[in-house]
Structure 1
Amino acid sequence: MTALVIDNLSHGFGARQALSQVNLSVEPGSFTVLLGPNGAGKTTLVSLVTGLYNAQQGDIRIFDHSIRRNPLPALASLGVVFQMPTLDLDMSVEQNMAYHGSLHGLSRREANERAGEELDRLGVGDRSRDKVRSLSGGMRRRVEIARALLHRPKFLIVDEATAGLDVAGRQLLLKHVRSLCSEGLSVLWATHMLEEVDPADQLFVLHKGQVRWAGQARELASGRTLEAAFLNLTGHAS
């Protein structure tokens, strides 16, 4: 069963058309990249898939559950890391994790056990009692990844999670999330950074609200650099 199917999706804000007839799919256990320059419509698409907005046209299905017709089981399968940080800065890491767990019906004990496991895997387990405000930007992002995985979703959506991080921080998050695909997790990774794309990734290039290319990343590059191919698609090639 396909993790995500977006069918003929369009959405606008007043006179501005943010997305136009977008078609996209994510296969189970795959790492799929949604690549586009700033303003391409990536965050709008993530907001529609996660139920923050209601799509004006088209259908979104998560593991065959329509967001429009059957939202609860669709959204229950999701873990999300939004572009804007959403941790409570004045709560500790473990309090943030416990609160998220309670929203998903986990007992305090179960939430604490799972939180310990996920935080340890991301190298921040020793900061669980610290207030989020005291953490660096990279550590906060690791906590957000751990929190998104707390309820053991089948599908993870990550929107520009590495923006503002140094190279080492970006590589750590990417390596960890990619490794989760081998455990069966499906991932949609939205980014504007070409260096985060691997040749084997399934790739969708979004520009001005439209999918300009879909396929394996190495096929887009084919005989030239990925950067040159991307610039050509988005109209900025020299």
Structure 2
Amino acid sequence: MNAAIQDVQAPMFEALDIEHRYGSRRALDGVSFTLLRGGFHALLGPNGAGKSTLIGLMTGLLRSQAGEIRIGGHSLTREPRRVRRQLGVVFQQLTLDLDLSVRQNLLYHASLHGLGRRLARQRCDRELARQGLEERADERVRQLNGGHRRRLEIARALLHEPALLVLDEASVGLDAASRQALNEHVRALCRERDMTVLWTTHLLDEIDPDDNVVMLCAGSVVAAGQAQALCARTHSATLQDAFRHLTGGQGPDNEEGRT
């Protein structure tokens, strides 16, 4: 088998026996799963399950304590720059500069990725058009509503053309209509660009029956597979019932402590 075929068939993302502690509290306990190239994947779990800790490790905000993360076949520990070139991230907390304009936020981020001025402007114009923000390019970010700010963060995350886009509870704080619109928009981007998306959430209405799902609870992976297959396996009428079955009664919509 030649190298090109191997590369296409290799997983886009691999978590290999990841462990992480905050003092004596174990946030992640031997977490292992893979994401294939292309498609929309959901990381499902209640607040406090360890989703944000995992995202912190993926993005280098947290230092690895045990296990390994690979993106595009490259080790985050040994090849961090190669990994980060393939990764776009929308964090749960807003990370835009509210006093800069929409375009200035994008150009600043492009410079951090080493894009030349001409290419950066071309990419900014392209992403603003795709996000429907071109007419607001010169407005300060603080003038945008929550949904438009999220779209701007997605535009920023796509400037360097990553292979994997990760959204950590990106719909938190949005109303129901804005949440649905954002979810549909990300799915469309996934299809159009043949991009791998990891969408972390504790809200089941953001998951479709044919989505690939990784269920995380109390720092451990309790199940992985297509949502409707997990329902069938547990003889559950809904994904919420399946989640409760697999976690011993805990619901994914738990609003207690965040990890």
What TM-score, normalized to structure 1?
0.96
Q: CA separation in 1, counterparts of 2:250 and 2:42?
A: 21
Please report how far the alpha carbon of residue 110 of structure 1 lies from its aligned counterpart in structure 2 after TM superposition. 1.7
Q: In the alignment, does 2:98 pair up with 1:85?
A: no
Of 158, 167, 175, which aligns to 2:184? 175
Of 173, 190, 196, which aligns to 2:200? 190
- Aligned to 2:142, the other structure's residue is in SS state helix
Structure 1 counterpart of 2:162? 153
The aligned amino acid for 2:25 is R
**Structure 1 alignment gaps of length 5 or more:** none
Structure 2 counterpart of 1:202? 212
Please report how far the alpha carbon of residue 237 of structure 1 lies from its aligned counterpart in structure 2 after TM superposition. 5.9
Runs of 4+ with >6 A deviation: none
The aligned amino acid for 1:202 is N
Structure 1 counterpart of 2:246? 233
Of 117, 131, 139, which aligns to 1:122? 131
Q: CA separation in 2, counterparts of 1:115 and 1:172?
A: 22
Structure 1 counterpart of 2:221? 211
Q: In the alignment, does 2:107 pair up with 1:102?
A: no
Q: In the alignment, does 2:80 pair up with 1:71?
A: yes
What TM-score, normalized to structure 2?
0.88
CA contact (8 A) 1:228 1:237 kept: no
Q: CA separation in 1, counterparts of 2:64 and 2:210?
A: 31
Please report how far the alpha carbon of residue 233 of structure 1 lies from its aligned counterpart in structure 2 after TM superposition. 2.6
| 1:70-106 deviation digits (Å, cap 9, x = unpaired) | 1110111000001111000110110000000001111
Q: In the alignment, does 2:233 pair up with 1:220?
A: no
Q: CA separation in 2, counterparts of 1:236 and 1:92?
A: 47
Of 52, 55, 63, which aligns to 1:46? 55
| 1:102-138 deviation digits (Å, cap 9, x = unpaired) | 0111122222221222122222221111101111111
Identical pairs, percent: 51
- Aligned to 2:103, the other structure's residue is in SS state helix
- Aligned to 2:38, the other structure's residue is in SS state coil
Q: CA separation in 1, counterparts of 2:161 and 2:180?
A: 23
- Aligned to 2:223, the other structure's residue is in SS state strand
Q: CA separation in 2, counterparts of 1:237 and 1:140?
A: 32
**RMSD of equivalent CA atoms:** 1.4
The aligned amino acid for 2:221 is V
